[in-house]
Amino acid sequence: MKWTLVYFDDQIQNIECYKELLEDDFHVIGCNDARSYDSLIRDHHPHAYMLDVHMPILDGHELYKRIIDHPHYNGCPIFFISGDESDENKVRSYQSGGIDFLSRDIRSDELIVRLSNKIKFYLQMSTILELGNLRLDVEHMTLTIGEEHQSLTLIEMRIMQIILRSFPTALSRTDLIKKIWGEESVKPGTINTHITNLKSRIDKWNYFIKIRGDQILVEAKS
């Protein structure tokens, strides 16, 4: 599974180019009309946004403000991208709050690394984790699905936090056990029991947790 990147650019050929360039590492959702930002934010919980700076009607800087003020914005990193590499354009992009400025002629391997590193940092540091209709507030230890609060044990909360921070990468049972119990001796079946109990509490989530061999996966419900 891949990280989700929402990319706004008024040039459709740019969107198609970056979709092809990033297809091995990202699921790119492209939009050539920045005015559609509201529905995209509501319908997706992306790992990052990439905004073309120079767009008509609603440019990247104004779009940035609207995204971060949106009640469904999940706090993920927002990148600016532009063929205008002037110091003025770069400084303004950083002043607006963008986490990084990407030039159009950046090498593909560097682009992927810069996107990936910022996303990994966000996933490790974020206190609000969202996927589909599920929202986990790490700081206040609350989990909601839609508008409904779900009661979980501390271990179930910890399992959900680790799984969401790892998504879309699969976890091994061994890694999950180490993250929760450290070096304590815990049987693999123990984590199966906790996950089974957890799944019954979050059955209204529009994703589901699957154990396949030693791998723990999260997949969208069809």
Fold of 128-220: Arc Repressor Mutant, subunit A (1.10.10)
3-125 and 128-220, same CATH topology: no
Q: Tell me the per-residue pLDDT of 120-160, one tens digit each, with 9 for 90 and over.
A: 898 888 888 888 899 999 888 899 999 899 999 999 999 99
CB 89: neighbour CB atoms within 10 A?
17
Mean pLDDT of 68-91: 92
Closest residue by Cα to residue 191 from 164, 143, 156: 156
pTM for the structure as a whole = 0.69
Residue 75: pLDDT band with limits 50, 70, 90: confident
For residue 202, the model assigns a pLDDT of: 95
Mean pLDDT of 7-17: 97
CA distance 191 to 189: 5
The domain ranges of the chain are 3-125, 128-220
Please say whether the beta carbons of 205 and 146 come within 8 A. Answer: no
CA distance 151 to 160: 12
CA distance 84 to 68: 24
Q: Which CATH architecture has domain 3-125?
A: 3-Layer(aba) Sandwich (3.40)
Q: Which of 10-19, 37-46, 162-171, 192-201 has the highest mean pLDDT?
A: 10-19
For residue 213, what are the contacts with CB-CB under 8 A and spacing of at least 6?
none
